[in-house]
Amino acid sequence: MLLNYHIHQVQTPRMVITPEMKQSLTILQLSAAELGDYLQEQAAENPLIEIEWPQEAFAVRSGFRLSDAEDVDRTHNIPDRDETLEKWVMRQLAAVPCSPELRKTVAFFAGNLDDSGYLTIGVEEAGALLGLPVRLVEQGLKLLQAMEPAGIGARNLRECLLLQIARDPGAPGLAAEIASHYLEPLAQGKLADIAKKTGTRPEEVRQALAYIQRLNPRPCASIGRFDPQHVVVDAEVIVHPTGRGQIAMNRDSIPRLIINEAYAKHVLSEAGAHRETRSYIREKWHAAQWLRRSVIQRNMTLQKVISAIVEEQWGFIAGGQSDKRPLKLESISEKIGLHASTVSRAVKNKYIATPRGVMELKSFFSKSIGAEDGAEISASRVKHRIVELVALEDKRHPLSDQEIARILQQEGITISRRTIAKYRQEERILPSSLRKNG
């Protein structure tokens, strides 16, 4: 049979992230303290860049003082531990011999761990931002997950438990299989069904259950969160006695970037300058210009996002409402005409000072839950209530998801058992059967 081969040219749309775009995305998601460090690094590598730090501290400079109200603790929302999870990882990384690419990957992951030690960014997204192949980024994730404590770097509860089981030579042989495939039946107490499907005895399943109950679903919770000295507010929301609001951006939170144009023009116009020297200066000139544009764009985007969030949450910020209203990233995205991923990067590690204290921008976002009176309640408020109920429960008879849903129903919150289970998992809370003690 004769086969005919034809070559066709097909055009497919594909977004290419240039180094400049990557730098802009990086700058957008940096906190004020991190951006200051980043600009210092760039100045050290580029002879055309100079940075100038403000003379006075942000909180006391003329024209921008925090409210004189003495009964408001503006730092009560900031964790007070000196240790940070990122520092914890970096100290371990310093003792590991590995390539610069792997070291860069693990360091990046260390900055993307939540308070419990879970990784908050995907491998593919990390690879795109770092400019590294996914294969190498996955190796970096394995290196992170091999560090202490066991369970660090997990992407979900199941993986967290499996990482701890894999590191324990004394773990029951059935524990890994159950954690991989039978967590839901285990939470429902279907021990006989699990025994039948795994070809084991119910007693072996009970032993595995007792073991899994002793694992830590929040392995890094005791290590620490943020170092308070690195928390710099990006803006202050001022509520005037008339009820009018004002947003004052913290212009002194990052240094001023100055480009030495005179030196660049001198070298480029120098008759005796070598071609390599001129090429080098042109390259550094374009890099400096792009850096300045990226910083300006970051500040403009951040101001738009903060203004939109304050407008949406004004009732809470001004004190008229006891809780934040439900708010999605997409709502702010549509309001200011930016992509949701841009808004997500803009709010990362950013803080504002309000009459209610210093608050992280991402804390203003939450999905909504319906109430019996037709009002909407933020998902964060529901999660907080679930955490409270679990903390106060009798550990000999822990609350099931259905019981929690019934309690919330009595409080006027309509929510399904499935949603309770979802929120419980997002808060790293084990099922009731795995929380039982005694």
Dump pLDDT digits (tens) for 291-341: 999 999 999 999 999 999 999 989 888 876 767 788 888 889 999 998 888
Assessment of whether the complete model's pTM goes beyond 0.85: no
- What is residue 271's predicted lDDT score, i.e. its pLDDT? 60
Q: For the segment 14-41, what is each residue's pLDDT rounded down to a tens digit?
A: 445 677 778 888 899 888 888 888 898 8
Q: Share the mean pLDDT of the chain.
A: 81
Residue 154 has pLDDT above 80, yes or no: yes
Q: pLDDT grade, residue 254 (50/70/90)?
A: confident
What's the pLDDT band for 273 if we cut at 50, 70, 90? low
Reported as a single tens digit per residue, the pLDDT across 368-384 is 665 554 456 777 778 88
Going by pLDDT thresholds of 50, 70 and 90, the confidence category of residue 229 is very low
Confidence of residue 227 (pLDDT cuts 50, 70, 90): very low
Predicted confidence at residue 10, as pLDDT, reads 54
Give the pLDDT confidence score for residue 324 in this predicted structure. Answer: 79
Q: Which long-range contacts (CB under 8 A, 24 or more apart) does 13-20 make?
A: 17/128, 19/131, 20/290, 20/294
Per residue in 195-225, pLDDT tens?
A: 898 898 888 888 888 888 888 888 888 775 4
Selection from 3-7, 64-68, 402-406 with the highest mean pLDDT: 402-406
Residue 77 has pLDDT above 80, yes or no: no
Note the pLDDT tens digit of each residue in 135-145: 999 999 999 99
179 pLDDT more than 80:
yes
- Does the pLDDT at position 188 exceed 60? yes
